[in-house]
Amino acid sequence: MRLLISFFIGAATAALAILLHQSVPPFGVIASILLSYSAIWAIGRTFQSRALKWVGAVGWTLLILRGATFGTGQELLVQGDGVGSTLLLLGTLTVLFAIAARN
């Protein structure tokens, strides 16, 4: 159960980051990155497990990458502009730093 909860927290955080990152640049992307770090860190803090942080990070990464690829109607949620690229690069690095952080 903790495995699924961690995965869905990571995925929900990514969904919020995708929806938030384009609003009021650069504050939206900053808030998205801080939210992503906080969620992954909170998974480790709550469950006392670095492995579950990895599960949350996998959920986060899968949803972010899905948002950065074209959908059926050729829509793109994470665009290739500066804000979208920042979310992809710094968001991924931030999630990795959250995994490395102590519980």
Distance between CA atoms of residues 59 and 83, nearest Å:
21
AA letter at 58: V
Q: Per the structure block, which two tokens stand in for 17?
A: 């980051």
* Overall pTM surpassing 0.85 (yes/no): yes
| Residue 69 DSSP class | S
Helix 27-47 vs helix 82-100: crossing angle, to nearest 10: 20
Pick the closest to residue 67 from 11, 28, 27 (CA basis). 11
pLDDT of 62-103, one tens digit each?
Answer: 999 999 999 899 999 999 999 999 999 999 999 999 999 987
